Structure 1
Amino acid sequence: MKTILKVVILLFCVTAFSQEQKVEYKKINENLVKATYYFADNTEAVEREGFFDADGKLNGIWISYDTMGNKTSIANYVSGKKDGVWTYFKKDKINVVTYNENKIIKVEEKDLVVN
Protein backbone atom coordinates (compact mmCIF):
# COMPACT_ATOMS: atom_id res chain seq x y z
CA MET A 1 0.00 0.00 0.00
CA LYS A 2 2.85 2.38 0.82
CA THR A 3 4.42 1.73 -2.58
CA ILE A 4 1.18 2.54 -4.39
CA LEU A 5 0.80 5.75 -2.38
CA LYS A 6 4.37 6.77 -3.22
CA VAL A 7 3.79 6.14 -6.93
CA VAL A 8 0.57 8.18 -6.90
CA ILE A 9 2.31 11.08 -5.13
CA LEU A 10 5.24 10.91 -7.56
CA LEU A 11 2.92 10.95 -10.58
CA PHE A 12 1.01 13.91 -9.14
CA CYS A 13 4.24 15.85 -8.58
CA VAL A 14 5.52 15.14 -12.09
CA THR A 15 2.19 16.21 -13.61
CA ALA A 16 1.96 19.34 -11.48
CA PHE A 17 5.41 20.56 -12.44
CA SER A 18 5.39 19.49 -16.08
CA GLN A 19 3.46 22.50 -17.35
CA GLU A 20 5.67 24.76 -19.40
CA GLN A 21 5.83 28.39 -18.53
CA LYS A 22 5.42 30.83 -21.41
CA VAL A 23 8.30 33.31 -21.64
CA GLU A 24 8.73 36.19 -24.07
CA TYR A 25 12.05 37.90 -24.74
CA LYS A 26 12.42 41.29 -26.41
CA LYS A 27 15.78 42.76 -27.28
CA ILE A 28 15.86 46.39 -26.12
CA ASN A 29 19.41 47.17 -27.27
CA GLU A 30 22.80 45.45 -27.56
CA ASN A 31 23.13 45.24 -23.78
CA LEU A 32 19.58 44.63 -22.58
CA VAL A 33 16.84 42.02 -23.09
CA LYS A 34 13.39 42.29 -21.51
CA ALA A 35 11.90 39.02 -20.26
CA THR A 36 8.23 38.47 -19.46
CA TYR A 37 7.21 35.28 -17.66
CA TYR A 38 3.57 34.17 -17.63
CA PHE A 39 1.84 31.90 -15.12
CA ALA A 40 1.99 28.31 -16.39
CA ASP A 41 -1.76 27.79 -16.09
CA ASN A 42 -2.67 31.15 -17.66
CA THR A 43 -0.63 32.40 -20.60
CA GLU A 44 -2.21 35.86 -20.40
CA ALA A 45 -1.36 36.70 -16.77
CA VAL A 46 2.16 38.03 -16.24
CA GLU A 47 3.99 36.43 -13.31
CA ARG A 48 7.15 38.56 -13.46
CA GLU A 49 9.05 40.76 -15.85
CA GLY A 50 12.45 42.37 -15.94
CA PHE A 51 15.74 42.63 -17.77
CA PHE A 52 18.87 40.63 -18.51
CA ASP A 53 22.19 42.23 -19.40
CA ALA A 54 24.49 41.15 -22.24
CA ASP A 55 26.04 38.48 -19.96
CA GLY A 56 22.61 36.97 -19.24
CA LYS A 57 22.54 38.29 -15.67
CA LEU A 58 19.50 39.88 -14.04
CA ASN A 59 19.80 43.64 -14.36
CA GLY A 60 17.57 46.57 -13.49
CA ILE A 61 14.04 46.44 -12.18
CA TRP A 62 12.11 43.17 -11.88
CA ILE A 63 8.42 43.22 -10.98
CA SER A 64 6.41 40.21 -9.76
CA TYR A 65 2.62 39.92 -9.82
CA ASP A 66 -0.06 37.70 -8.33
CA THR A 67 -2.63 35.95 -10.54
CA MET A 68 -4.94 38.98 -10.29
CA GLY A 69 -2.28 41.31 -11.71
CA ASN A 70 -1.43 43.02 -8.41
CA LYS A 71 2.24 43.75 -7.75
CA THR A 72 3.76 41.48 -5.12
CA SER A 73 7.33 42.77 -5.32
CA ILE A 74 9.60 45.25 -7.04
CA ALA A 75 13.25 44.27 -7.09
CA ASN A 76 16.46 45.72 -8.43
CA TYR A 77 19.56 43.92 -9.71
CA VAL A 78 22.96 45.10 -10.85
CA SER A 79 24.86 42.49 -12.88
CA GLY A 80 22.99 39.61 -11.24
CA LYS A 81 23.31 40.90 -7.67
CA LYS A 82 20.54 42.26 -5.47
CA ASP A 83 21.14 45.96 -5.14
CA GLY A 84 19.11 48.94 -4.01
CA VAL A 85 15.59 48.98 -2.63
CA TRP A 86 13.32 45.95 -2.88
CA THR A 87 9.64 46.36 -2.04
CA TYR A 88 7.37 43.49 -1.03
CA PHE A 89 3.62 44.12 -0.97
CA LYS A 90 1.48 42.25 1.54
CA LYS A 91 -2.22 42.58 2.24
CA ASP A 92 -1.85 45.36 4.80
CA LYS A 93 1.91 45.95 4.97
CA ILE A 94 4.83 46.86 2.77
CA ASN A 95 8.25 45.44 3.51
CA VAL A 96 11.20 47.46 2.21
CA VAL A 97 14.59 45.77 2.08
CA THR A 98 17.72 47.61 0.99
CA TYR A 99 20.53 45.56 -0.54
CA ASN A 100 24.10 46.33 -1.50
CA GLU A 101 25.78 43.63 -3.63
CA ASN A 102 23.50 40.84 -2.30
CA LYS A 103 23.90 41.94 1.33
CA ILE A 104 20.95 43.23 3.35
CA ILE A 105 21.65 46.74 4.59
CA LYS A 106 18.28 47.72 6.03
CA VAL A 107 14.82 46.21 6.58
CA GLU A 108 11.66 48.25 7.20
CA GLU A 109 8.02 47.30 7.58
CA LYS A 110 5.36 49.91 6.85
CA ASP A 111 1.61 49.80 7.30
CA LEU A 112 -0.33 50.10 4.07
CA VAL A 113 -2.82 52.94 4.34
CA VAL A 114 -5.50 53.17 1.66
CA ASN A 115 -7.58 56.34 1.44
Structure 2
Amino acid sequence: MKTILKVAILLFCVTSFAQEQKVDYKKLDNDMVKATYYFADNSDLVEREGFFNADGKLHGTWINYDVNGSKTIIAHYKNGKKEGTWTYIKKDKVDIVTYKNNKIIDVKSEEVILN
Protein backbone atom coordinates (compact mmCIF):
# COMPACT_ATOMS: atom_id res chain seq x y z
CA MET A 1 0.00 0.00 0.00
CA LYS A 2 2.84 2.41 0.82
CA THR A 3 4.42 1.76 -2.58
CA ILE A 4 1.18 2.56 -4.40
CA LEU A 5 0.79 5.76 -2.39
CA LYS A 6 4.38 6.81 -3.16
CA VAL A 7 3.87 6.19 -6.89
CA ALA A 8 0.60 8.15 -6.86
CA ILE A 9 2.27 11.10 -5.12
CA LEU A 10 5.21 10.99 -7.54
CA LEU A 11 2.89 10.98 -10.56
CA PHE A 12 0.87 13.86 -9.11
CA CYS A 13 4.05 15.91 -8.58
CA VAL A 14 5.34 15.24 -12.08
CA THR A 15 2.06 16.17 -13.76
CA SER A 16 1.60 19.23 -11.56
CA PHE A 17 4.87 20.76 -12.67
CA ALA A 18 4.72 19.69 -16.32
CA GLN A 19 4.13 22.53 -18.75
CA GLU A 20 2.09 22.10 -21.87
CA GLN A 21 3.91 22.84 -25.11
CA LYS A 22 2.25 25.19 -27.58
CA VAL A 23 1.96 23.83 -31.13
CA ASP A 24 0.61 25.54 -34.23
CA TYR A 25 -0.56 23.55 -37.25
CA LYS A 26 -1.15 25.08 -40.67
CA LYS A 27 -2.65 23.06 -43.54
CA LEU A 28 -0.95 23.77 -46.86
CA ASP A 29 -2.38 23.43 -50.36
CA ASN A 30 -0.37 20.30 -51.18
CA ASP A 31 -1.94 18.13 -48.41
CA MET A 32 1.01 18.90 -46.17
CA VAL A 33 0.71 20.31 -42.66
CA LYS A 34 3.31 22.69 -41.25
CA ALA A 35 3.87 22.19 -37.52
CA THR A 36 5.57 24.75 -35.30
CA TYR A 37 6.46 23.73 -31.74
CA TYR A 38 7.32 26.37 -29.14
CA PHE A 39 9.44 26.05 -26.00
CA ALA A 40 7.16 25.10 -23.09
CA ASP A 41 8.50 27.84 -20.82
CA ASN A 42 8.24 30.57 -23.50
CA SER A 43 5.48 30.20 -26.04
CA ASP A 44 6.97 32.91 -28.29
CA LEU A 45 10.22 31.05 -29.07
CA VAL A 46 10.15 28.35 -31.75
CA GLU A 47 11.76 25.08 -30.65
CA ARG A 48 11.27 23.16 -33.91
CA GLU A 49 9.26 23.29 -37.09
CA GLY A 50 8.61 21.03 -40.02
CA PHE A 51 6.03 19.19 -42.05
CA PHE A 52 3.72 16.20 -41.94
CA ASN A 53 2.39 14.55 -45.10
CA ALA A 54 -1.25 13.57 -45.73
CA ASP A 55 -0.65 10.30 -43.84
CA GLY A 56 0.52 12.19 -40.75
CA LYS A 57 4.16 11.13 -41.19
CA LEU A 58 7.16 13.42 -40.86
CA HIS A 59 8.07 14.63 -44.33
CA GLY A 60 10.46 17.20 -45.74
CA THR A 61 12.75 19.49 -43.76
CA TRP A 62 12.56 19.83 -39.97
CA ILE A 63 14.61 22.44 -38.12
CA ASN A 64 15.37 22.56 -34.38
CA TYR A 65 16.41 25.80 -32.64
CA ASP A 66 18.01 26.71 -29.33
CA VAL A 67 16.58 29.39 -27.03
CA ASN A 68 18.63 32.04 -28.85
CA GLY A 69 16.99 31.18 -32.19
CA SER A 70 20.09 29.51 -33.63
CA LYS A 71 19.62 26.32 -35.64
CA THR A 72 20.79 23.18 -33.86
CA ILE A 73 19.54 20.46 -36.19
CA ILE A 74 18.49 20.48 -39.83
CA ALA A 75 16.80 17.16 -40.61
CA HIS A 76 15.08 15.59 -43.60
CA TYR A 77 12.35 12.98 -43.66
CA LYS A 78 10.62 11.06 -46.41
CA ASN A 79 7.32 9.46 -45.41
CA GLY A 80 8.34 9.22 -41.75
CA LYS A 81 11.85 7.89 -42.36
CA LYS A 82 15.16 9.70 -42.02
CA GLU A 83 16.43 10.46 -45.49
CA GLY A 84 19.29 12.55 -46.86
CA THR A 85 21.74 14.80 -45.04
CA TRP A 86 21.13 15.79 -41.44
CA THR A 87 23.21 18.57 -39.91
CA TYR A 88 23.83 18.71 -36.15
CA ILE A 89 25.21 22.13 -35.24
CA LYS A 90 27.22 22.51 -32.02
CA LYS A 91 29.44 25.28 -30.66
CA ASP A 92 32.73 23.79 -31.79
CA LYS A 93 31.76 21.39 -34.58
CA VAL A 94 29.17 20.38 -37.12
CA ASP A 95 28.24 16.73 -37.51
CA ILE A 96 26.87 15.71 -40.89
CA VAL A 97 25.02 12.40 -40.98
CA THR A 98 23.63 10.95 -44.19
CA TYR A 99 20.62 8.65 -43.97
CA LYS A 100 19.02 6.41 -46.55
CA ASN A 101 15.74 4.67 -45.74
CA ASN A 102 16.16 5.41 -42.01
CA LYS A 103 19.71 3.97 -41.83
CA ILE A 104 23.00 5.82 -41.39
CA ILE A 105 25.22 5.50 -44.46
CA ASP A 106 27.84 8.18 -43.70
CA VAL A 107 29.04 10.37 -40.81
CA LYS A 108 31.38 13.36 -41.03
CA SER A 109 32.45 15.97 -38.48
CA GLU A 110 33.82 19.40 -39.20
CA GLU A 111 35.35 21.74 -36.66
CA VAL A 112 33.97 25.24 -36.40
CA ILE A 113 36.67 27.90 -36.47
CA LEU A 114 35.66 31.13 -34.78
CA ASN A 115 37.64 34.27 -35.57
Same fold by TM (over 0.5)?
Answer: yes
Q: Where in structure 1 do 4 or more consecutive aligned residues deviate above 2 Å? A: 3-17
| 1:93 corresponds to | 93
Residue pairs, 1:24-39, within 5 angstroms: 24-39=24-39
Residue pairs, 1:1-115, within 5 angstroms: 10-17=11-18, 19-115=19-115
Q: CA deviation at 1:30?
A: 3.8
Cα separation, 1, equivalents of 2:71 and 2:24 = 19
Q: CA deviation at 1:27?
A: 1.1
Q: CA deviation at 1:57?
A: 0.3
Identity of aligned residues (%): 56
Q: What letter is aligned with 1:16?
A: F
The runs of 5 or more residues in structure 2 that have no matched partner are none
Bigger shift: 80-89 or 23-32? 23-32
With over 3 angstroms needed to count, the CA separation of the structure-2 counterparts of 1:7 and 1:32, relative to structure 1, is: closer
Q: Deviations over 1:81-112 (max 9, x none)?
A: 00000000111100000000110000011001
With over 3 angstroms needed to count, the CA separation of the structure-2 counterparts of 1:100 and 1:8, relative to structure 1, is: same
Bigger shift: 24-33 or 70-79? 24-33
Residue-pair matches, total: 113
Q: Deviations over 1:10-62 (max 9, x none)?
A: 55433333x11100011111421100000011000000000000000000000
Q: CA deviation at 1:5?
A: 8.5
TM-score (norm 2): 0.87
